[in-house]
Amino acid sequence: MDFRRESKSKNLRNLLVESFWFGFGVVPFLCFVSSPSLAWMVVFAAVAVTWALSLPVVVRRVEFRIELEADRNAGIYLVAPQQLADALVRISSIGMPSKIVGFTAKMAFLAGRLTHPTFKERVRFLQALQFTDKSVSIQI
């Protein structure tokens, strides 16, 4: 984890969001297990439904930002953001094979769409980063 101020790492914030979300789902379950009653079962069922419906939102928010942060750090420390954007455009132009795929491949594709920004979103982000010109000098 990078704690330097210029890197603006969001790892700690992401860890806190995921931990709070996990606790939100686990605590009512533990209360129901320790004291089974109809009231706790109703509360746990409501929380479980809310928790399950929030799964895609939380995963998308956290994982999406991790990917964009990796692009930002690559654009700042490794290569120019425009070079990285051009590489992404070339990779996306190759495309995916148009084969009929099975259920597991479709689920893997859906999970990838959930956790990763599209090439267009990444290119837009890198182009915006290029115009802000946040260059950081590395001190040894």
| Distance (Å, whole) CA 69 – CA 13 | 13
Is 23 part of any domain? yes
In a domain, 138, yes or no: no
Please tell me the total count of domains within the chain. 1
Does residue 53 sit within a domain?
A: yes
Instruction: Give pLDDT, residue 100.
Output: 64
Neighbours of 92 (CB within 10 A): 14
What stretch of H or E contains 135?
none
Q: Report residues of the chain scoring pLDDT below 50.
A: 1, 135-140
- Distances from the Cα of 126 to the Cαs of 2, 14, 57, 116, 132, in angstroms? 21, 21, 23, 15, 10
Q: Which residue has the tokens 């890198």?
A: 126
- Whole-structure pTM value: 0.61
Q: What is the pLDDT of residue 95?
A: 64
Degrees, nearest 5: CA angle 82-84-90: 105
The domain of 91 spans 5-132
Look at residue 140 in the predicted model and tell me its pLDDT. 36
31 found inside a domain: yes
Q: Among candidates 13, 117, 21, which has minimal Cα distance to 60?
A: 117
Give dist(CA 47, CA 53) in Å, integer: 10
pLDDT, tens digit, 9 for 90 and up, residues 85-118: 888 888 877 766 556 667 777 777 777 777 788 8
**What is the enclosing helix (H) or strand (E) of 44?**
helix 38-77
Is 140 contained in some domain? no
| Residue 137, domain member (yes or no) | no
Q: CA-CA distance, 118 to 112, in Å (whole number)? A: 9
**d(Cα 102, Cα 15) in Å, to the nearest integer?**
34
Counting beta carbons within 10 angstroms of the beta carbon of residue 14, is it exposed (0 to 12), middle (13 to 18) or buried (19 or more)? middle
